[in-house]
Structure 1
Amino acid sequence: MDGIVSTTRTVNYESKTHAVIDSQISGSFSILIRQVERSFVRLNSIRCENLLSQKTLPASAAIVFEIPPSFLLAGEEICSGYVCNALSKTIIDSWIQGLILPQICKEAIELSKTGHGFLVEAQVEAVKETYINDVVDLNDYDSKGQRIPIKPVCPICLKEFVHSTSTIITKLRCCNHCFHRDCILTWLRRNHSCPTCRDDIHNPRPKKHISKTVCLGQKPMAIKYSEA
């Protein structure tokens, strides 16, 4: 099963700082975590991915903790150890803790140099992406083994689909519309629908199928309509 499934984890850390009149120069952090999970099928040997699903987990209450003056002024290593211990006692997933720890410590030490206390309100978007390798469907590729998009340009950025090692074309499985990978992931951070047809990626509209039955002799051809 090696190489069949792989996972990437990233965080986007944004914060606002409020000065606090405090003779001890203490620092407080209020952290709100928003988690997003996406699953892709990655076609073998082809730089193309199909988005299977996206799920946004409900944000928990803000995590609040304080860094005492003695740890703020003791240097980066001591401060990092204290923050690491403080985060370990919260409900924040361990992988998120590891990725936001350097940012929190850096921000705390810089703010401690201002000579007054502070409150940092941070918002963290934590994204976990799982990639499942799949077999190649040759009918979707040209003679060079490159995927043929339904449209010649990405509907989001309106730039052509240029096949290169730095370009990844992603197809939404709910509707088969294609986009540049970075374009559609940026869109999906704020929307859960296809930007072309507005189909919900979690609950796509049922697709109509037409099945034809042809009978020999005098019987007419029967056409049946059904919904998947």
Structure 2
Amino acid sequence: MNTDSGVILEVTTNAMLLPPHRGFENKVFVCLHNVVNELAEDQNGIVTYLGTFPDPHMSKIELKPSCFCSHHISQHLDEFFTDTRFCRMLSEKIAVDCASLPQPFSVTVYVKVIRDVRVTLSSIVVRSKDMFQRLLEEQTVELTGLGDEEETTCSICMEEFSESRDDNIILLPDCFHLFHQSCIFEWLKRQRSCPLCRRVPYEEDHETE
């Protein structure tokens, strides 16, 4: 399901019938999982996909609606969400899925909310030359200097660090993740944060300037 705000909902419903002695109190559990698609747009309007980053946490809410019309369900969802369009779309989906179920029942609704977050590259300003030069001068490491517990593979190209490859190895400050110079420099031209942990190289130095 697409919304006008660029949000996509993927909804899966899992229903379980309850024994009659449980009465006619139906339950709806909504499990919400947020996923962000990061996009970068340059000054020419060219959009580059940077990656998909799911939230490791899933929120769960319980509803006990007395009837299963979409308007009534939406009123319950309004207590938990401020986005009225989101509530309306989700309540309509729940109402349709529950309409044919014999009571009493318990329904678990798994909702994946996929949002596009677009970053304008002009806002990432090119401190880039200074940053690249500083990384090259301060953060280049030798292959022989890597400890036994260090990473052995560049997480961008998925190739092992090797003396046979004519490329420096860059150790990012603060997070200490390792990458080939060409790989991480190309990445940082589009997105200024570490591709693994999202930390920004020299962020504190930049904030104090």
Q: Which has the higher strand share?
A: 1
Q: Which has the higher helix share?
A: 2
